[in-house]
Amino acid sequence: MAADHEGGCLCGAVRYRIQGEPLGVGLCHCRSCRLATGGPVAGFVDLPPGGFVWTAGEPAFYASSPGVRRGFCSTCGTALTFEADDLPGEVHLLSATLDDPAPWVPDEAGTTYTEERICWLKLKLPDQRETA
């Protein structure tokens, strides 16, 4: 499997593989994602049921909201996944944890919670339109 379909955490204990076509690729500007990741914005690859598999280690999970669970490495703390009861079977992968995130280009259709975007954060996606 190509490196752009595999990824994992900072310490290397928890690894995963993408094995399906994504439903979407985007960014999330919500405060929960900022706190979960420690970054100003979170990138996601949204995978359908069966499109994602853990391949090494045991992720830990945190319920950041009712019906939501976020997977992370309990050793190094890297945020890895987002799942929600109202999206059964889907795994939304934190795309920056891919070994090669470059091919997974976010688009506006996949971008959420722009109203919570940090005001100084200006991004230009490859289509040259600024996210707002």
* Residue ranges in contact with Zn ion by CB under 5 A: 9, 11, 13, 28, 30, 33, 73, 75-76
Query: DSSP secondary structure string, 67-124?
Result: TEEEEE-TTT--EEEEEETTSTT-EEEEGGGBS--TT----GGG-B-GGG--TT---B
CB 32 within 8 A of CB 38: no
Complex with Zn ion: residue 50 or 55, whichever CB lies closer: 55
Complex with Zn ion: residue 50 or 73, whichever CB lies closer: 73
User: CA–CA separation, 117 vs 132, rounded Å?
Assistant: 8
Q: How near is the Cβ of 73 to Zn ion at its closest, in Å?
A: 3
Q: How near is the Cβ of 125 to Zn ion at its closest, in Å?
A: 17
Complex with Zn ion: residue 18 or 34, whichever CB lies closer: 34
Q: How near is the Cβ of 31 to Zn ion at its closest, in Å?
A: 8
